[in-house]
Amino acid sequence: MASLGQPGLIVRQKHPLNLEFPFATLSGYLTPVDQFYVRNHFPTPAVDPEAFRLSLTGSVRRPLALGMADLRALPQAAFTAVMECAGNGRVFYEPAREGLQWQNGAVGNARWSGVPLSVLLDEAGVDAGACEVVLIGADRGRVDDGKKTASPGPIAFARSLPLDKARSPDVLIAHAMNGEPLTAEHGAPLRAVVAGWYGMAWIKWLTEIRVVDRPFTGYWQTRDYFRWDRGLGEPVLVPLTRMEVKSQIAQPVAGARLRCGAPVTVTGAAWSGEADIVAVDVSVEGAEPLDWRPARITPADGPHGWVLWEFTWTPTVPGPATLRCRARDATGATQPDRQQPDRESYGANWIIPVEVTVVPVDAASLDDFVI
Protein backbone atom coordinates (compact mmCIF):
# COMPACT_ATOMS: atom_id res chain seq x y z
CA MET A 1 0.00 0.00 0.00
CA ALA A 2 1.29 3.47 -0.84
CA SER A 3 2.51 5.48 2.12
CA LEU A 4 0.30 8.38 3.07
CA GLY A 5 3.28 10.28 4.51
CA GLN A 6 2.18 12.69 7.25
CA PRO A 7 -1.56 12.27 7.07
CA GLY A 8 -2.23 15.06 9.54
CA LEU A 9 -5.41 15.54 11.46
CA ILE A 10 -9.05 15.67 10.38
CA VAL A 11 -10.62 19.10 10.88
CA ARG A 12 -13.92 18.64 12.74
CA GLN A 13 -14.29 22.35 13.49
CA LYS A 14 -12.12 25.39 12.76
CA HIS A 15 -13.47 27.89 15.33
CA PRO A 16 -12.88 26.76 17.96
CA LEU A 17 -10.26 24.34 16.70
CA ASN A 18 -11.24 20.67 16.92
CA LEU A 19 -9.01 18.10 15.23
CA GLU A 20 -9.30 14.33 15.02
CA PHE A 21 -6.49 11.78 14.80
CA PRO A 22 -7.04 9.51 11.78
CA PHE A 23 -7.10 6.32 13.85
CA ALA A 24 -6.36 4.17 10.78
CA THR A 25 -2.82 5.63 10.83
CA LEU A 26 -2.11 4.24 14.32
CA SER A 27 1.49 3.07 14.03
CA GLY A 28 3.27 3.39 17.37
CA TYR A 29 2.65 3.10 21.06
CA LEU A 30 2.82 6.83 21.77
CA THR A 31 0.72 9.20 19.70
CA PRO A 32 3.01 11.95 18.33
CA VAL A 33 2.02 15.42 19.55
CA ASP A 34 1.34 16.65 16.00
CA GLN A 35 -1.03 13.68 15.51
CA PHE A 36 -2.82 14.02 18.84
CA TYR A 37 -6.49 15.07 18.66
CA VAL A 38 -7.43 18.57 19.80
CA ARG A 39 -10.67 19.31 21.64
CA ASN A 40 -11.45 22.96 22.39
CA HIS A 41 -14.60 24.70 23.54
CA PHE A 42 -13.27 28.24 23.12
CA PRO A 43 -10.46 30.01 21.29
CA THR A 44 -7.01 29.02 22.53
CA PRO A 45 -5.95 31.51 25.25
CA ALA A 46 -2.40 32.84 25.44
CA VAL A 47 -0.91 32.19 28.87
CA ASP A 48 2.44 33.92 29.39
CA PRO A 49 4.69 31.30 31.00
CA GLU A 50 6.88 34.01 32.57
CA ALA A 51 4.22 36.19 34.16
CA PHE A 52 1.69 33.52 34.96
CA ARG A 53 1.10 32.09 38.45
CA LEU A 54 -0.86 28.93 39.16
CA SER A 55 -3.07 29.73 42.14
CA LEU A 56 -4.31 27.19 44.65
CA THR A 57 -6.95 28.69 46.91
CA GLY A 58 -10.16 27.84 48.76
CA SER A 59 -10.40 25.44 51.68
CA VAL A 60 -6.66 25.32 52.36
CA ARG A 61 -4.47 26.63 55.16
CA ARG A 62 -1.72 28.10 52.94
CA PRO A 63 -2.92 29.37 49.53
CA LEU A 64 -0.27 29.03 46.82
CA ALA A 65 0.74 31.12 43.80
CA LEU A 66 3.38 29.22 41.85
CA GLY A 67 5.42 30.24 38.83
CA MET A 68 6.84 27.73 36.38
CA ALA A 69 10.22 27.78 38.18
CA ASP A 70 8.50 27.01 41.51
CA LEU A 71 6.69 24.08 39.92
CA ARG A 72 9.87 22.68 38.40
CA ALA A 73 11.53 22.78 41.83
CA LEU A 74 8.85 20.46 43.28
CA PRO A 75 8.92 16.64 43.03
CA GLN A 76 8.14 15.47 39.50
CA ALA A 77 6.45 12.38 38.10
CA ALA A 78 5.87 11.00 34.61
CA PHE A 79 3.71 8.26 33.13
CA THR A 80 2.06 7.21 29.90
CA ALA A 81 -1.70 7.64 29.85
CA VAL A 82 -4.43 7.35 27.28
CA MET A 83 -6.81 10.29 26.99
CA GLU A 84 -10.13 9.76 25.24
CA CYS A 85 -12.69 12.49 24.64
CA ALA A 86 -16.04 11.43 26.09
CA GLY A 87 -17.51 12.24 22.66
CA ASN A 88 -15.19 9.85 20.79
CA GLY A 89 -17.31 7.62 18.52
CA ARG A 90 -20.35 9.91 18.72
CA VAL A 91 -20.87 9.56 14.96
CA PHE A 92 -21.87 5.93 15.53
CA TYR A 93 -24.91 6.83 17.67
CA GLU A 94 -28.31 6.19 16.08
CA PRO A 95 -30.19 8.38 15.62
CA ALA A 96 -27.44 10.99 15.22
CA ARG A 97 -26.63 13.01 18.33
CA GLU A 98 -25.83 16.70 18.46
CA GLY A 99 -22.19 17.58 19.01
CA LEU A 100 -18.92 17.15 17.16
CA GLN A 101 -19.16 14.08 14.96
CA TRP A 102 -16.03 12.29 16.13
CA GLN A 103 -15.27 8.94 14.55
CA ASN A 104 -12.71 6.89 16.49
CA GLY A 105 -9.80 9.35 16.59
CA ALA A 106 -10.65 11.54 19.59
CA VAL A 107 -8.21 9.43 21.58
CA GLY A 108 -4.45 9.27 21.99
CA ASN A 109 -1.74 7.85 24.22
CA ALA A 110 1.09 10.09 25.41
CA ARG A 111 3.74 10.36 28.08
CA TRP A 112 2.95 13.16 30.52
CA SER A 113 5.35 14.83 32.99
CA GLY A 114 4.67 17.23 35.79
CA VAL A 115 4.00 17.68 39.49
CA PRO A 116 1.53 15.33 41.17
CA LEU A 117 -1.49 17.36 42.29
CA SER A 118 -1.14 15.63 45.68
CA VAL A 119 2.18 17.44 46.19
CA LEU A 120 0.47 20.83 45.75
CA LEU A 121 -2.46 19.85 47.97
CA ASP A 122 -0.03 18.77 50.71
CA GLU A 123 1.91 22.05 50.38
CA ALA A 124 -1.31 24.02 50.74
CA GLY A 125 -2.77 21.89 53.54
CA VAL A 126 -6.35 20.89 52.68
CA ASP A 127 -9.01 21.74 55.31
CA ALA A 128 -10.87 18.88 56.97
CA GLY A 129 -14.22 19.87 55.48
CA ALA A 130 -13.03 19.96 51.85
CA CYS A 131 -14.60 17.54 49.36
CA GLU A 132 -13.53 18.47 45.81
CA VAL A 133 -10.82 20.20 43.83
CA VAL A 134 -11.98 22.49 41.02
CA LEU A 135 -9.60 22.88 38.07
CA ILE A 136 -10.09 26.08 36.05
CA GLY A 137 -8.70 26.91 32.61
CA ALA A 138 -7.76 30.32 31.22
CA ASP A 139 -10.07 29.96 28.20
CA ARG A 140 -13.54 31.36 28.43
CA GLY A 141 -16.62 32.17 26.44
CA ARG A 142 -20.37 32.39 26.49
CA VAL A 143 -22.41 29.22 26.41
CA ASP A 144 -25.73 29.23 24.63
CA ASP A 145 -26.82 25.68 24.07
CA GLY A 146 -30.52 26.24 23.60
CA LYS A 147 -31.24 24.32 26.81
CA LYS A 148 -32.25 27.43 28.80
CA THR A 149 -28.73 27.60 30.14
CA ALA A 150 -27.22 30.49 28.20
CA SER A 151 -24.49 31.88 30.42
CA PRO A 152 -24.93 35.52 31.54
CA GLY A 153 -21.39 36.29 30.41
CA PRO A 154 -18.19 34.48 29.55
CA ILE A 155 -17.42 31.51 31.78
CA ALA A 156 -14.21 29.54 32.13
CA PHE A 157 -13.84 25.87 31.23
CA ALA A 158 -13.73 24.11 34.61
CA ARG A 159 -14.32 20.66 36.11
CA SER A 160 -13.90 19.19 39.57
CA LEU A 161 -12.32 16.05 40.97
CA PRO A 162 -13.32 14.41 44.24
CA LEU A 163 -10.51 14.70 46.80
CA ASP A 164 -9.58 11.01 46.65
CA LYS A 165 -8.99 11.14 42.88
CA ALA A 166 -7.22 14.51 43.19
CA ARG A 167 -4.83 13.07 45.78
CA SER A 168 -4.18 9.85 43.83
CA PRO A 169 -0.98 9.38 41.82
CA ASP A 170 -3.19 9.41 38.68
CA VAL A 171 -3.37 13.20 38.62
CA LEU A 172 -0.53 15.42 37.41
CA ILE A 173 -0.19 19.11 36.81
CA ALA A 174 1.67 18.49 33.58
CA HIS A 175 4.04 20.76 31.68
CA ALA A 176 5.30 18.25 29.12
CA MET A 177 3.86 15.76 26.65
CA ASN A 178 6.08 13.10 25.05
CA GLY A 179 9.12 14.84 26.55
CA GLU A 180 8.44 18.26 25.01
CA PRO A 181 6.90 21.34 26.63
CA LEU A 182 3.14 21.38 26.08
CA THR A 183 2.06 23.06 22.85
CA ALA A 184 -0.53 25.86 22.88
CA GLU A 185 -3.23 23.50 21.53
CA HIS A 186 -2.62 20.97 24.29
CA GLY A 187 -2.78 23.49 27.12
CA ALA A 188 0.58 25.30 27.51
CA PRO A 189 2.06 25.98 29.91
CA LEU A 190 0.14 23.67 32.29
CA ARG A 191 -2.69 21.17 32.03
CA ALA A 192 -4.24 18.58 34.28
CA VAL A 193 -3.63 14.93 33.51
CA VAL A 194 -6.38 12.81 35.06
CA ALA A 195 -5.38 9.27 34.13
CA GLY A 196 -8.34 6.93 33.80
CA TRP A 197 -10.92 9.67 33.23
CA TYR A 198 -12.39 11.04 30.02
CA GLY A 199 -10.67 14.08 28.51
CA MET A 200 -13.08 16.72 29.83
CA ALA A 201 -11.41 16.41 33.25
CA TRP A 202 -7.94 17.10 31.82
CA ILE A 203 -8.19 20.91 32.11
CA LYS A 204 -5.86 22.76 29.71
CA TRP A 205 -4.34 26.23 30.28
CA LEU A 206 -4.76 25.49 33.97
CA THR A 207 -4.40 28.71 35.95
CA GLU A 208 -6.48 28.14 39.07
CA ILE A 209 -7.07 25.27 41.45
CA ARG A 210 -9.78 25.80 44.05
CA VAL A 211 -10.43 23.41 46.92
CA VAL A 212 -14.12 23.49 47.80
CA ASP A 213 -16.29 22.15 50.61
CA ARG A 214 -19.36 21.33 48.51
CA PRO A 215 -19.77 19.65 45.13
CA PHE A 216 -18.95 21.91 42.19
CA THR A 217 -21.91 22.46 39.86
CA GLY A 218 -20.29 24.36 36.97
CA TYR A 219 -21.60 24.12 33.43
CA TRP A 220 -19.29 21.31 32.25
CA GLN A 221 -19.88 19.44 35.47
CA THR A 222 -23.68 19.38 35.48
CA ARG A 223 -24.97 20.63 32.13
CA ASP A 224 -22.59 18.83 29.81
CA TYR A 225 -20.51 15.66 30.10
CA PHE A 226 -23.01 13.72 32.16
CA ARG A 227 -24.76 10.36 32.00
CA TRP A 228 -27.86 8.91 33.60
CA ASP A 229 -27.37 6.70 36.64
CA ARG A 230 -30.18 4.34 37.63
CA GLY A 231 -28.36 2.79 40.61
CA LEU A 232 -30.56 4.74 43.03
CA GLY A 233 -33.88 3.84 41.41
CA GLU A 234 -35.14 7.00 39.74
CA PRO A 235 -32.51 7.97 37.12
CA VAL A 236 -30.29 10.90 38.10
CA LEU A 237 -27.71 12.81 36.09
CA VAL A 238 -24.15 12.25 37.25
CA PRO A 239 -20.97 13.80 35.86
CA LEU A 240 -18.88 11.61 33.55
CA THR A 241 -15.69 10.37 35.13
CA ARG A 242 -13.93 7.06 34.32
CA MET A 243 -13.41 5.92 30.75
CA GLU A 244 -15.37 2.83 29.75
CA VAL A 245 -13.52 -0.28 28.56
CA LYS A 246 -12.97 -0.02 24.81
CA SER A 247 -11.06 -1.39 21.84
CA GLN A 248 -10.89 -0.05 18.31
CA ILE A 249 -9.73 -1.46 14.98
CA ALA A 250 -7.15 0.70 13.18
CA GLN A 251 -6.57 -1.61 10.18
CA PRO A 252 -8.12 -2.75 7.98
CA VAL A 253 -10.50 0.17 7.54
CA ALA A 254 -14.19 -0.09 6.68
CA GLY A 255 -14.56 -0.69 2.95
CA ALA A 256 -11.12 -2.31 2.57
CA ARG A 257 -10.73 -5.02 -0.07
CA LEU A 258 -8.65 -7.97 1.13
CA ARG A 259 -7.07 -10.73 -0.93
CA CYS A 260 -8.58 -14.14 -0.43
CA GLY A 261 -5.95 -16.59 0.87
CA ALA A 262 -3.49 -13.86 1.91
CA PRO A 263 -2.93 -13.25 5.62
CA VAL A 264 -3.98 -9.84 6.87
CA THR A 265 -3.03 -8.33 10.22
CA VAL A 266 -5.94 -6.78 12.05
CA THR A 267 -4.51 -4.11 14.37
CA GLY A 268 -5.83 -1.74 17.00
CA ALA A 269 -5.63 -0.39 20.54
CA ALA A 270 -7.58 -1.03 23.74
CA TRP A 271 -7.90 0.75 27.09
CA SER A 272 -10.08 1.06 30.15
CA GLY A 273 -10.44 3.79 32.75
CA GLU A 274 -9.11 2.45 35.99
CA ALA A 275 -8.33 -1.20 35.23
CA ASP A 276 -5.85 -3.12 33.09
CA ILE A 277 -6.90 -4.69 29.81
CA VAL A 278 -6.73 -8.47 30.22
CA ALA A 279 -8.04 -9.63 26.82
CA VAL A 280 -8.94 -8.41 23.36
CA ASP A 281 -10.95 -10.76 21.17
CA VAL A 282 -11.53 -10.48 17.45
CA SER A 283 -14.26 -11.97 15.31
CA VAL A 284 -14.12 -12.03 11.53
CA GLU A 285 -17.55 -13.34 10.62
CA GLY A 286 -20.98 -11.88 10.25
CA ALA A 287 -22.98 -14.92 11.35
CA GLU A 288 -24.18 -15.27 14.96
CA PRO A 289 -23.02 -16.71 17.25
CA LEU A 290 -19.75 -14.93 16.60
CA ASP A 291 -16.54 -16.91 16.86
CA TRP A 292 -14.35 -14.76 19.11
CA ARG A 293 -10.59 -15.45 19.01
CA PRO A 294 -7.92 -13.89 21.24
CA ALA A 295 -5.73 -11.16 19.77
CA ARG A 296 -2.03 -10.82 20.69
CA ILE A 297 -1.57 -7.96 23.10
CA THR A 298 1.51 -5.80 23.53
CA PRO A 299 1.25 -4.83 27.19
CA ALA A 300 0.98 -1.22 28.29
CA ASP A 301 4.12 0.43 29.74
CA GLY A 302 2.32 1.20 33.00
CA PRO A 303 -1.12 1.27 34.57
CA HIS A 304 -2.58 4.10 32.45
CA GLY A 305 -1.38 3.50 28.89
CA TRP A 306 -3.37 1.77 26.19
CA VAL A 307 -2.40 -1.64 24.82
CA LEU A 308 -1.78 -2.30 21.16
CA TRP A 309 -3.09 -5.60 19.81
CA GLU A 310 -3.05 -7.55 16.57
CA PHE A 311 -4.70 -10.58 15.08
CA THR A 312 -3.68 -12.45 11.96
CA TRP A 313 -6.49 -13.56 9.73
CA THR A 314 -6.36 -15.38 6.41
CA PRO A 315 -9.68 -14.93 4.63
CA THR A 316 -10.76 -18.06 2.78
CA VAL A 317 -14.16 -17.10 1.36
CA PRO A 318 -14.65 -14.26 -1.14
CA GLY A 319 -17.44 -11.82 -0.33
CA PRO A 320 -18.35 -9.46 2.49
CA ALA A 321 -16.89 -9.99 5.95
CA THR A 322 -17.37 -8.21 9.25
CA LEU A 323 -14.53 -7.54 11.66
CA ARG A 324 -15.22 -6.88 15.32
CA CYS A 325 -13.06 -6.40 18.40
CA ARG A 326 -13.97 -6.52 22.05
CA ALA A 327 -11.83 -5.78 25.12
CA ARG A 328 -12.20 -7.02 28.69
CA ASP A 329 -10.60 -5.38 31.71
CA ALA A 330 -9.42 -6.70 35.07
CA THR A 331 -12.77 -5.87 36.70
CA GLY A 332 -14.49 -8.21 34.21
CA ALA A 333 -16.09 -5.28 32.36
CA THR A 334 -16.40 -5.83 28.63
CA GLN A 335 -17.78 -3.86 25.70
CA PRO A 336 -21.53 -4.03 25.13
CA ASP A 337 -23.02 -5.22 21.84
CA ARG A 338 -25.20 -2.14 21.45
CA GLN A 339 -25.25 1.55 22.28
CA GLN A 340 -26.22 2.33 25.86
CA PRO A 341 -29.33 4.47 26.36
CA ASP A 342 -28.04 6.15 29.53
CA ARG A 343 -24.96 7.74 28.00
CA GLU A 344 -26.64 10.59 26.09
CA SER A 345 -24.05 11.20 23.37
CA TYR A 346 -20.95 10.12 25.28
CA GLY A 347 -19.02 7.02 26.29
CA ALA A 348 -19.61 5.20 22.98
CA ASN A 349 -17.87 1.91 23.73
CA TRP A 350 -20.12 -0.64 22.13
CA ILE A 351 -18.69 -3.00 19.51
CA ILE A 352 -18.46 -1.26 16.13
CA PRO A 353 -18.49 -3.71 13.17
CA VAL A 354 -16.02 -2.98 10.36
CA GLU A 355 -17.31 -4.21 7.01
CA VAL A 356 -14.69 -5.34 4.49
CA THR A 357 -14.76 -7.30 1.23
CA VAL A 358 -12.69 -10.37 0.46
CA VAL A 359 -11.85 -10.55 -3.23
CA PRO A 360 -10.59 -13.57 -5.23
CA VAL A 361 -6.82 -13.43 -5.88
CA ASP A 362 -7.15 -12.99 -9.66
CA ALA A 363 -9.43 -9.99 -9.20
CA ALA A 364 -7.11 -8.64 -6.50
CA SER A 365 -4.09 -8.64 -8.76
CA LEU A 366 -5.89 -6.19 -11.05
CA ASP A 367 -6.76 -3.80 -8.25
CA ASP A 368 -4.24 -1.41 -6.71
CA PHE A 369 -6.48 -0.58 -3.80
CA VAL A 370 -6.41 -4.04 -2.31
CA ILE A 371 -4.20 -4.45 0.77
139 contributes a contact to ligand MTE by CB under 6 A: yes
- Judged by CB under 6 A, the residue of 58, 189, 199, 347 near ligand MTE is 199
Per-residue x/- marks for ligand MTE, 249-288, CB under 6 A? ----------------------------------------
Single out the segment in contact with ligand MTE by CB under 6 A; choices: 6-14, 194-202, 281-289, 352-360. 194-202
CA-CA distance, 369 to 244, in Å (whole number)?
35
- For ligand MTE, how many residues bind (rule: CB under 6 A)? 18
Classify the phi-psi angles of 35: left when phi > 0, otherwise alpha if psi is within -120 to 50, otherwise beta: alpha
- Measured at the alpha carbon of residue 19, what is the angle toward residues 18 and 20, in degrees to the nearest 5? 130
Give the shortest CB-99-to-Mo ion separation in angstroms. 10
Please say whether the beta carbons of 83 and 39 come within 8 A. no
Return the number of the residue (177 or 358) whose C-beta is nearest ligand MTE.
177
Residue 202 binds which entry of ligand MTE, Mo ion, none, with Cβ cut-offs from 5 to 8 Å by kind? Answer: ligand MTE
Please say whether the beta carbons of 260 and 361 come within 8 A. yes
39 contributes a contact to Mo ion by CB under 5 A: yes
> 293-303 burial string, b = 16+ CB within 10 Å, else e?
eebebeebeee
Please say whether the beta carbons of 170 and 304 come within 8 A. yes
- For Mo ion, how many residues bind (rule: CB under 5 A)? 4
111 contributes a contact to ligand MTE by CB under 6 A: no
* Residue 272, SS3 per DSSP: coil
Q: What is the DSSP string of 116-132?
A: EHHHHHHHH-B-TT--E
Beta strand pairing call for 171-177 and 180-181? antiparallel
- Judged by CB under 6 A, the residue of 52, 93, 112, 157 near ligand MTE is 157
**What's the distance, Cα to Cα, between the start and end of the chain in Å?**
6
CA-CA distance, 290 to 293, in Å (whole number)?
9
Single out the segment in contact with Mo ion by CB under 5 A; choices: 54-62, 197-205, 321-329, 350-358. 197-205
295 contributes a contact to ligand MTE by CB under 6 A: no
305 contributes a contact to Mo ion by CB under 5 A: no
Which ranges of 18-160 would DSSP assign to H, the alpha helix?
Answer: 68-73, 117-124
202 contributes a contact to ligand MTE by CB under 6 A: yes
Single out the segment in contact with ligand MTE by CB under 6 A; choices: 34-42, 71-79, 342-350, 359-367. 34-42
Give the shortest CB-211-to-ligand MTE separation in angstroms. 19
**Contact set for Mo ion, span 63-92 (CB under 5 A):** 85
Q: Among residues 84, 101, 92, 79, which one has the least CA distance to residue 36?
A: 84
Residue ranges binding Mo ion (CB under 5 A):
39, 85, 199-200
Residue ranges binding ligand MTE (CB under 6 A):
36-41, 85, 137, 139, 157, 186-187, 199-200, 202-205
